[in-house]
Structure 1
Amino acid sequence: MEPYADAIAGRHQYAMDKESELTNKGKQSLSDFASGYLYFGLHRTPEGWTFREWAPNATHVYLVGTFNGWEEKDAYKLKKLKNGVWEIKMSLEAIRHGDLYKLNVYWEGGQGERIPAWATRVVQDEHTYIFSAQVWEPEKPFKFKKKAFKPSTDPLLIYECHIGMAQQEAKVGTYKEFRENILPRIVEEGYNCIQIMAVQEHPYYGSFGYHVSSFFAASSRFGTPDELKELVDAAHSLGVSVIMDIVHSHAVKNEVEGLSNFAGDPNQYFYAGNRREHPAWDSLCFDYGKNEVLHFLLSNCKYWLEEYNFDGFRFDGVTSMLYYSHGLGESFDNYTSYFNGHQDDNAICYLTLANKLIHEVNSKAITIAEEVSGMPGLAVNVEDGGYGFDYRMAMNIPDYWIKTIKEKIDEDWKPSNMFWEVTNRRQDEKTISYAESHDQALVGDKTIVFRLIDADMYWHMQKGDENYIVHRGIALHKMIRLLTATTINGGYLNFMGNEFGHPEWIDFPREGNDWSCKYARRQWDLVDNKNLSYHYMGDFDAAMLKVVKSVKDFQATPVQEIWHNDSDQILAYGRKDLIFVFNFNPKESFVDYGFLVAPGAYEVILNTDDVAFGGNGIADDSVVHFTMPDPLYKAEKKEWLKLYIPARTAVVLRKKK
């Protein structure tokens, strides 16, 4: 990194200079600056209602809604203040809780109906499908019972989920149903964090929540703001932290619902020229060089932390933000790729300030970057010149597993390659490891289990009727997840349902499937049915997490390779008092296979071949394995641990005290 020291220092200084500018040379905090949601939007005070909007290109602005028959009236005409800010003050009787409203915005040469940019509640009419902002000021607003919460990161075990498709029924699920039906499952499984997708309001359900229109509004498809707060509070009471996917990498192109052409200025929030539209996502790119945009986005970060008690964020599309090319067509095969002038310093500055702000508001907050290029310093403290994320997604791992399954026969799976992929990371950056991503569950792709078993999942998942393909698929599903989860250096993530091998793909309701929710749900009855083989994978997942959590600071203990042999397809490594042994060989079992380990007695605490997890139970796991001395390795304080390792199995052993 030394050749790029000047560039690293320059980026850091740029962010610090911008912070100084935004905070009036430190006369206020970054958190004070990022409080726009307390000023803009609709607010009720003891004296009455106040509404403000930033629309510098507007000539006239009217507040219209159910309270005035959707007509422009002088009593609801906004007054222009300085710096493009518009304001109106009204009596307490002028509007009330539940009223719908919008803005009629005029500019030179045109006018348009708009949902306020800072709206905190947006609903869709079930008959006309039209979106409107809604006044949300209930007489008895929800109050958090668990006000102080410290996330558990020892290690961070994330259950990635989507509220709408979390239910068994073919419908859009709710925050309330998730709290009552799904949250207990997650707790029982052993995860200590949920990462919720699609929280910010989005016009098209099928966008998976990634084409956001109203950044301060929790999606009303799933219920009310109070019901989301109740979900967060309930999770905290159970020791589960809650982070959300935050989408600041782009915005939906819709004009009426979104920010696309808010007041006749298509570049009010977005870059001009050919940088305005994202070439691959059919969306718009924020102009991170504008202070007003920084104010909007930073305030958005603080809003979700303060208003909903979220514990942090997984930032979506960070690679797209970092590069003028959005990372498209780039190889990133050497460090010059990160410092060749093709990077957006404005976006880097924003991400640095966002992380600084988030941890200023909540020092225990969790921030994760979804970033594929490998940009150095992303998960390094701001004080040390980094961008300040706590973790980065280890996006190479799911890519590796799916590529291996698709392109290689079992005999060509090499343990040396596997071990390198799951441990290949910078030591100064924590990562979130995961075996498969939610993208693999979408239409057009396949999850790991569907790649392994495919059509046989429809016919041979009944206990006693499993064929070779099913047995192979379940065995490898367990081994892949065990190897991925036990080599982490930060945290582990699983997408909802993948832990038990949920079949098929996700297809949101759309015109092409007659707006059906049949494939936009989770079939929990499959894992609950003990006559089916799905529960084997779900039960193993829970047992695996129990092992991971049994070691204090598991994620911080060094992963030490003990042995690999690509011909035998054997891999062994250790962490503290645990030894992990894998035999990926599809045909050959090994008797008295030896490894040099610390002297002592070792007991089996987890075996993928256990009959409780759908295995054959060939080995006797009740046997305590004693090491045998060897004069050649006496000086190294190592002895031979000899095991029987059946084909296509993995075992975890713990050294007895």
Structure 2
Amino acid sequence: MSAMEEKPALPTIVQNDPWLEPQTESIRRRSERFEKTLAEIREKSGSLAAYARGHKYSGIHFNPTARQWIIREWAPEAKGISLIGEFNHWNRDSHPLSRNPDGIWELKLEGPELTHGDKIKFHIHGADGSRLDRLPACLTRAVQDPVSHDYTGQIWAPEKAYEWKHKFDPAAISAPFIYESHVGMAGEEPRVHTYREFADNVLPRVKKAGYNTVQLMAIQEHPYYGSFGYHVSSFFAACSRFGTPEDLKYLIDTAHGMGIAVLLDIVHSHAVKNISEGLNNFDGSGHQYFHGGEKGDHPQWDSKCFDYSRPEVRQFLLSNVRYWLEEFRFDGFRFDGITSMLYHSHGNRAFGSYDDYFGEDADEDAILYLKLANELISEIKPGAIVVAEDMSGMPGLCRPNHEGGIGFTHRLAMGIPDHWIKLLKDQRDEEWNLDELWGVITNRRFGEATIAYAESHDQALVGDKTIAFRLMDKEMYWHMDLENEHPVIERGIALHKIIRLITLAFGGEGWLNFMGNEFGHPEWLDFPREGNGWSYHYCRRQWSLVDNPNLKYQWLAEWDRDLIKLARDRKLLQAAPAQLLHVDHENKILIAERANLIFIINFSPDRSIPGYGVAPYKKDTHSLLLDSDEKKYGGHGRLDHGVGYPLHSDGQIKFYTTSRTAIVLG
């Protein structure tokens, strides 16, 4: 074969994982389609970033030079559109838009006709003959009537723009320690809390606890509070329940001043099916933003599925990515529901081989969109953190586009919390298989950064239980004061500390915690709904529990704080994956090394062994850096912190390993 006929080099992700070689053509096809689409976009628009400015063209904008409002909307099969609102007494005939050949409708108004705060809608005569009042697709402010719960759009053009005080570069976050948060439930009172309250009251707690990243849920406007923000209606509007857009900017600005990155939990995997406030059947065709027919319905989520094959839909979503990065200065995203996007089956099946990721079930249109979105993010904000919520384990998901990957920076280790819950539900801790536990916690694709977590908001929801509540349950109501000893509480606190340490230390290159779980927040999380009398009692965070010096919650909070401090100081999550040094099944002891630290975990409920030995990687004297049995963490204080751990002549270090204790030597 001549040099001209040589086969092209294998994609990098195949070179790094030879088992992917049978999938080479599929990987190349995805890459070639991405490169071709990107080239077409750049030829037409100059750059991908310029292409992702659809929200600057569509929507409602004021042109100060011409002193006029320009209203545009893409609705290719609509028969007619008119602007209605307070300014024209909701007259459906007085302000019609005109359609151009590309399906864009347009209206220009003189400056005084619309003012900041005016409520507006579109009246759309649909292709199906319907006549409905709808919200503009690129609306940046939607407000909900407190009585009727109906939404209207609102002109948002304050005279004075928000003045940012702090600059922040997300590239400064070498390993994310993520505090997963929901603004509305972030206070203790039984009500919806605000962006400014979160900035002033919660961010200082996040900083004190050592987290360097906040992930905000439920920011994109959604009609039902109890959806956790995952049924989005207005993709460009910050949730008005929590305050104004300026209030959200204040939150992010305040975080940046503390050195904290802020991620948006972005939902591009589906959309609310509601007609009145969402995008469903917007132009009356039944297939504008979403697939037509059954393909457009998500049966598990009761929502609508985007048609990623349409360039206009891709541009809408890419523009949405750019908007949140630039308008609000988010430092990246957690992309929700990626598994549902990646496969026509929405991932509702087993994945047994690499063929399952690259066969006919793979949604190549959605994959193209995700590759474009990650390329755009890296262009606009280099160093941004982009986390994929994927249950399937798609190879290359967190490798760059030029390597044949999809471009995310991190993926969630979704199997770890599932395994912890399974263990806690089905087995006593003395029955846990340490080999299996090690395998689950360390099982991740080489070279693809992973966010480890023991539990997230999913485990906190009513119908499930947090780890703390699963360990201690109703006993937390009666035995959490310092003077009240109880075996269930003692066991629960000991295992809570161990579970978080082993997951953080060995599970990935990042860490995630849902707010309040760091101190063992009791009970479940339940949004106000008809079934609970629309109560906010379980939809809040009880900070007073950890603030009370007479309660045991402070022990867990201090352990979490010191664990994170050690991990950050020693660059634990930036280090190579942990190496297993020793497993003792009889005594329930697991020992591993990472970042030149030795982690010794004794799972036994009753075996404490003096003079236990292990051959370390680091061949000199070790010090005791962290000890879950310290009294300040609710332990028994059985170890002497004043002694060192020298290397003995047999090549081992000797130590006293106490029951249900995790220690770290360094």
Q: TM-score range by the shorter chain?
A: over 0.9
| Contact persistence 1:152–1:192 (CA under 8 A) | no
- Counterpart AA for 1:106: H
- Quote the residue 2:91 is aligned against: 71
- Quote the residue 1:426 is aligned against: 445
- Quote the residue 1:169 is aligned against: 189
Tell me the CA shift for residue 297 of structure 1: 0.4
- Quote the residue 1:81 is aligned against: 100
- Quote the residue 1:635 is aligned against: none
What CA distance in whole angstroms lies between the structure 1 residues aligned with 2:290 and 2:456? 29
- Quote the residue 1:531 is aligned against: 550
- Counterpart AA for 1:34: A
- Give CA deviations for 1:115-173 in whole Å, capped at 9, x if unaligned: 00100000012233211110111111212122443343332100000000000110000
- Give CA deviations for 1:459-513 in whole Å, capped at 9, x if unaligned: 1111121311111001000000001111244200001111011111111111121
Tell me the CA shift for residue 619 of structure 1: 1.4
Check if 1:38 corresponds to 2:56. Answer: yes
- Quote the residue 1:409 is aligned against: 428
Correspondence list, 1:100-139, <5 A? 100-108=119-127, 109-139=129-159
Correspondence list, 1:358-507, <5 A? 358-507=377-526
What CA distance in whole angstroms lies between the structure 1 residues aligned with 2:167 and 2:660? 48
Check if 1:154 corresponds to 2:168. Answer: no
Query: Which of residues 642, 658, 662 is equivalent to 1:646?
Result: 658
| Contact persistence 1:315–1:368 (CA under 8 A) | yes
- Give CA deviations for 1:369-416 in whole Å, capped at 9, x if unaligned: 000000101001111010000001111111111111111112211222
- Quote the residue 1:313 is aligned against: 333
Query: Which of residues 51, 56, 62 is equivalent to 2:71?
Result: 51
What CA distance in whole angstroms lies between the structure 2 residues aligned with 1:645 and 1:279? 51
What CA distance in whole angstroms lies between the structure 2 residues aligned with 1:482 and 1:489? 12
What CA distance in whole angstroms lies between the structure 1 residues aligned with 2:609 and 2:529? 52
Tell me the CA shift for residue 558 of structure 1: 4.0
Q: Point out the more displaced range, 153-162 or 298-307.
A: 153-162
| Contact persistence 1:151–1:239 (CA under 8 A) | no
Query: Which of residues 365, 371, 374 is equivalent to 1:355?
Result: 374
What CA distance in whole angstroms lies between the structure 2 residues aligned with 1:506 and 1:164? 12
- Quote the residue 2:8 is aligned against: none
Correspondence list, 1:162-241, <5 A? 162-241=182-261
| Contact persistence 2:41–2:47 (CA under 8 A) | no
| Contact persistence 1:489–1:555 (CA under 8 A) | no
What CA distance in whole angstroms lies between the structure 2 residues aligned with 1:153 and 1:417? 32
What CA distance in whole angstroms lies between the structure 2 residues aligned with 1:252 and 1:519? 25
- Give CA deviations for 1:28-82 in whole Å, capped at 9, x if unaligned: 11111110111111111112111110111111111111111111243x2211122
Tell me the CA shift for residue 515 of structure 1: 1.3
In structure 1, the residue corresponding to 2:27 is in which secondary structure?
helix
What CA distance in whole angstroms lies between the structure 1 residues aligned with 2:46 and 2:161? 30
- Give CA deviations for 1:552-611 in whole Å, capped at 9, x if unaligned: 464233422221122221111112331110000112111111000133211111111110
| Contact persistence 2:275–2:281 (CA under 8 A) | yes
What CA distance in whole angstroms lies between the structure 2 residues aligned with 1:590 and 1:258? 62
What CA distance in whole angstroms lies between the structure 2 residues aligned with 1:537 and 1:367? 29
Correspondence list, 1:315-354, <5 A? 315-328=335-348, 330-354=349-373
In structure 2, the residue corresponding to 1:58 is in which secondary structure?
coil
Tell me the CA shift for residue 448 of structure 1: 0.7
- Counterpart AA for 1:152: A
- Quote the residue 2:639 is aligned against: 619
Query: Which of residues 281, 289, 292 is equivalent to 1:269?
Result: 289
Structure 2 residue runs without a partner (length 5+): 1-19
What CA distance in whole angstroms lies between the structure 2 residues aligned with 1:156 and 1:110? 49
In structure 1, the residue corresponding to 2:185 is in which secondary structure?
coil
What CA distance in whole angstroms lies between the structure 2 residues aligned with 1:216 and 1:174? 19
What CA distance in whole angstroms lies between the structure 1 residues aligned with 2:228 and 2:49? 30
| Contact persistence 2:170–2:385 (CA under 8 A) | no
- Quote the residue 1:636 is aligned against: none
- Give CA deviations for 1:342-390 in whole Å, capped at 9, x if unaligned: 1110001111111001111111111100000001010011110100000
Q: Point out the more displaced range, 557-566 or 426-435.
A: 557-566
- Give CA deviations for 1:505-532 in whole Å, capped at 9, x if unaligned: 1111111212111111000001111111
| Contact persistence 1:159–1:496 (CA under 8 A) | yes
In structure 2, the residue corresponding to 1:154 is in which secondary structure?
coil
- Quote the residue 2:4 is aligned against: none
In structure 2, the residue corresponding to 1:61 is in which secondary structure?
strand
| Contact persistence 2:180–2:456 (CA under 8 A) | no
Q: TM-score, normalised by structure 2?
A: 0.95
What CA distance in whole angstroms lies between the structure 2 residues aligned with 1:479 and 1:280? 35
| Contact persistence 1:154–1:549 (CA under 8 A) | no
What CA distance in whole angstroms lies between the structure 2 residues aligned with 1:392 and 1:575? 20
User: Cα–Cα, structure 1 residues 320 and 477, in superposed 2: closer, same or farther, change >3 Å?
Assistant: same
In structure 2, the residue corresponding to 1:591 is in which secondary structure?
strand
In structure 1, the residue corresponding to 2:84 is in which secondary structure?
strand
- Quote the residue 1:593 is aligned against: 612
Check if 1:29 corresponds to 2:47. Answer: yes
User: Cα–Cα, structure 1 residues 445 and 414, in superposed 2: closer, same or farther, change >3 Å?
Assistant: same
What CA distance in whole angstroms lies between the structure 2 residues aligned with 1:314 and 1:466? 41
What CA distance in whole angstroms lies between the structure 1 residues aligned with 2:130 and 2:60? 25
In structure 2, the residue corresponding to 1:164 is in which secondary structure?
helix
What CA distance in whole angstroms lies between the structure 2 residues aligned with 1:375 and 1:384? 15
Identity %: 49
What CA distance in whole angstroms lies between the structure 1 residues aligned with 2:589 and 2:146? 58
- Quote the residue 2:16 is aligned against: none
- Quote the residue 1:633 is aligned against: none
- Quote the residue 2:11 is aligned against: none
What CA distance in whole angstroms lies between the structure 2 residues aligned with 1:479 and 1:93? 63
Structure 1 residue runs without a partner (length 5+): 631-638
Tell me the CA shift for residue 273 of structure 1: 2.2
Tell me the CA shift for residue 314 of structure 1: 0.3
In structure 2, the residue corresponding to 1:389 is in which secondary structure?
coil
- Counterpart AA for 2:393: G
User: Cα–Cα, structure 1 residues 624 and 433, in superposed 2: closer, same or farther, change >3 Å?
Assistant: same
Question: How many residues are paired up?
Answer: 643
In structure 2, the residue corresponding to 1:605 is in which secondary structure?
strand
| Contact persistence 1:416–1:565 (CA under 8 A) | no
Tell me the CA shift for residue 107 of structure 1: 2.6
Query: Which of residues 28, 32, 35 is equivalent to 1:9?
Result: 28
- Quote the residue 1:95 is aligned against: 114
In structure 2, the residue corresponding to 1:2 is in which secondary structure?
helix
Query: Which of residues 298, 312, 325 is equivalent to 1:278?
Result: 298
